[in-house]
Structures are given as structure tokens and as C-alpha cells.
Amino acid sequence: FIIEREMPGAGTLTQAASTRSFTFPQGTVVKRGGYVVLARSSSRAAFEAFWGVTLGADVVFLTSTDHQATEVPTINGSETYTLTDPFGAVRDGPTIAMASSARQSVARLPGGAAGSPSSWTVASDASGTPGAGVDPASRGHGVFISEFSDAGGTGAFVHEFVELHFDGRPD
């Protein structure tokens, strides 16, 4: 599960409207200020090249098809995401839904309610910021779904992603 320290079991990211889920590999850990980027079925190098980024050392990169057969995310529009802990308790979500036409990048404002449209910034799919973009001064929200993005272009669907951010607990 994605936490500030290792704990037994594994959390799950569930996608609704196109029902799919991804169980994080046991022992997956993200440090304070870090990210988890879950890509649909891209290698890290191909993902970085597509998005024009170099993911930092504070980014855990996972590809759903490396860990299980289900491709998450599969973004076609109208999907929402929910994060649960190893015991099935909801840690975050459900999020707002991406437009039914997809082709968007949806980024969250720290502290905003997952289901509130005012908590999210919606932009074109080309504006995704995987592994970055959350204000480093943000604190106290724990692990939350911070961005999800479609990937436009022929064959680009493999680079779709959902991002989680851990901004730590209050000091």
C-alpha cells in the first residue's frame, strides 16, 4: 500500500464507469513529498519520453500490466477513482469524473474534497504533470489521488496515468 511507512497488505485503486482495480504490490512505499505514478502499460523510459519529464527519485513508477492483467487506468471518459487501504477502508475518493469525451488532464488542489469539482483543475490531455505539480508546502492530507490524465494521439493510450501524492501528516 502507498504509505509513509511499510505496512502489511496492499491497498487498491478502483476505477468506476469502466470497472477495474489495481492492487498495489505489497511493500510499496512513498516518502513524504513523493508520488506514485500508475501508468496503464508503458515502460518508465517510454512514459518519460511521451510526457517530456524525468521522474525524480521521490516517484514510485508502476505499470499496471507489470503487476496484473488488468489495465488501470483505462481512460475513455466518465471514470472516477477511489483509493482504499489494505482493510478496505476508503482513504480517498471517489474523484470527479473526467469528461465523457476524455482527452483531459485532471489535477487536484491539496485539501480539496475528491468529489467536488472546485477541488480540481481540468486542462487538455497534453498538460499532464506526472510526478510533479503539487505545492510542496501542502501538508497534512496524507495520501491522496492528485491527478489522472488521458494521453492523446495514436497509440498513446499506454501512457494514461493516475497519480497519488503523499504530503505527510501535520508536523
**What would the pLDDT profile of 37-53 be if each residue is shown by its tens digit?**
999 999 999 999 999 99
Among 39, 22, 14, smallest CA distance to 158 is for: 39
Q: How far is CA 134 from the centre of its chain?
A: 12
The pLDDT tens digits of the residues spanning 82-103 come to 999 888 899 999 999 998 888 8
3-class DSSP assignment, residue 78: coil
Residue count of the chain, please give it.
171
Give SS3 for 48: helix
Which of 30-34, 78-82, 121-125, 135-139 is predicted with the least confidence, judged by mean pLDDT?
135-139
Maximum mean pLDDT: which of 5-14, 48-57, 74-83, 96-105: 48-57
Q: How many helices (H) and strands (E) does the chain have?
A: 2, 10
pLDDT at 6: 40
User: pLDDT-derived band of residue 7, with 50, 70 and 90 as boundaries?
Assistant: very low
Per the rule left: phi > 0, alpha: psi between -120 and 50, beta: everything else, 88 is: left
Cite the beta strand spans of 76-138 per DSSP E.
80-84, 90-92, 104-108, 120-124
**Which has more pLDDT, 115 or 133?**
115
Contact by Cβ (8 Å): 47, 54: no
Confidence of residue 9 (pLDDT cuts 50, 70, 90): low
pLDDT at 169 (0 to 100): 61
Q: Work out the mean pLDDT of the chain and round it to a whole number.
A: 86
